[in-house]
């Protein structure tokens, strides 16, 4: 614990501070003012206690690249990556199903071919199965390689799709999600009120549902990759998004992720307690 070293690699050259327009569209706070005391990792100490590479049990004290973390976190945020997604490492996936870890790593290993043909991946599973974490790792791997990628989450889809009051912001968002090399749609189906056949969608959720379905179909037609995660089963998704699911079945990979036990209720809860006890901070990382 005495030796303080740098553990995080420098950001690649293409990671630049986002523009004010991008930051405003992403609704990022504290724009225009910053000091080391506002660093999400070290809170101004310029060093932090963090995991050693590849471990979830060993830790040490490291120097904190505060300015690089600020840039990276905002760069990730304007691309739709959540705070949890920013912090997720491959080392954190030790409790996840090995078959699905291998599937995610295979997608990354063949990322050039997958992007070229617009290959897609659908991850089904209960909350806590690790599907969102795999999606973030896939997305960050492509971003590291210089590909363009964007993520949309169910809890923000409604507000993003219905930004019609700010037409320019909506147009910019549409261009981002339509034209990027990879689009991650996290928790598809939660953004719509109707999740079973015996309920009717509201007019509000129907606007969102139609917009999301059009987006998926358009990307598939343009041979652009999508990674979808969802808590719903295939039958419910077929009810919600029949055209989108038909397009995905016709041109993408549909993989099922369903674990017998909730990973979140076991390994992740214990890990959270461990981090609190030892004051372990989590920087934004690539992998």
Q: What is the pLDDT of residues 63-101, one digit of tens each?
A: 999 999 999 999 999 999 999 999 999 998 887 778 888
Instruction: State the DSSP code for 268.
Output: I
Please report, for the chain, the start and end positions of each structural domain, with discontinuous segments joined by +. Answer: 20-90+264-277, 97-256
- Which whole number is the average pLDDT over 115-122? 91
pLDDT value of residue 197: 43
Rounded to whole angstroms, how far apart are CA atoms 37 and 183? 34
Distance CA 117, CA 103 (A): 18
Phi, psi for 218 (deg, rounded to 5): -65, -40
CB-CB contact of 63 with 4 (8 Å): yes
Strands annotated E in 58-215: 59-63, 121-124, 149-153, 182-186
**DSSP E strands: which ranges in 114-244?**
121-124, 149-153, 182-186, 225-230
Q: Summarize the confidence of residues 134-142 as an average pLDDT.
A: 97
Query: Per-residue pLDDT averaged across 184-208, rounded?
Result: 68
Rounded distance between C-alpha atoms, residue 284 and residue 125, angstroms: 25
Nearest to 14 by CA among 79, 103, 108, 85: 79
> Residue 102 pLDDT > 60, yes or no?
yes
Q: For residue 19, how many other CB atoms are within 10 A of its CB?
A: 10
| Structure token digits, residue 163 | 């930004």
Most confident of the ranges 87-91, 121-125, 151-155, 258-262: 87-91
Does the domain made of 97-256 have the CATH classification 3.40.50.300?
yes
3-class SS of residue 115: helix
At residue 142, the 3 state secondary structure works out as helix
Q: At what angle do helices 154-161 and 203-221 cross, to 10 degrees?
A: 100
- Give pTM, 2 decimals: 0.90
């Amino acid at each position: 614990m005495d030796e303080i070293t740098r553990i995080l690699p420098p950001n690649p050259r293409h990671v630049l501070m986002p523009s004010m327009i991008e930051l405003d569209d992403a609704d990022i706070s504290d724009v225009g003012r910053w000091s080391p005391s506002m660093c999400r990792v070290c809170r101004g100490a310029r060093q932090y206690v963090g995991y050693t590479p590849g471990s979830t049990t060993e830790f040490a004290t490291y120097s904190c690249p505060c300015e690089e973390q600020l840039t990276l976190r905002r760069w990730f945020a304007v691309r739709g990556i959540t705070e949890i997604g920013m912090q997720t490492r491959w080392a954190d996936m030790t409790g996840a199903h090995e078959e699905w870890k291998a599937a995610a790593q295979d997608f990354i290993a063949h990322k050039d071919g997958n992007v070229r043909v617009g290959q897609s991946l659908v991850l089904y599973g209960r909350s806590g199965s690790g599907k969102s974490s795999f999606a973030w790792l896939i997305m960050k791997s492509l971003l590291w390689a210089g590909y363009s990628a964007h993520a949309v989450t169910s809890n923000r889809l409604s507000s993003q799709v219905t930004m019609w009051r700010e037409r320019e912001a909506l147009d910019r968002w549409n261009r981002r999600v339509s034209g990027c090399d990879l689009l991650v749609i996290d928790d598809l189906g939660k953004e719509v009120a109707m999740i079973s056949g015996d309920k009717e969608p509201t007019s509000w959720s129907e606007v969102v549902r139609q917009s999301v379905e059009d987006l998926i179909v358009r990307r598939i037609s343009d041979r652009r990759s999508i990674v979808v995660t969802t808590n719903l089963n295939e039958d419910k998704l077929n009810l919600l998004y029949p055209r989108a699911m038909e397009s995905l079945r016709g041109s993408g990979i549909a993989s099922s992720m369903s674990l017998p036990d909730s990973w979140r209720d076991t390994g992740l809860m214990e890990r959270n307690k461990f981090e609190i006890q030892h004051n372990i901070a989590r920087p934004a990382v690539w992998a």
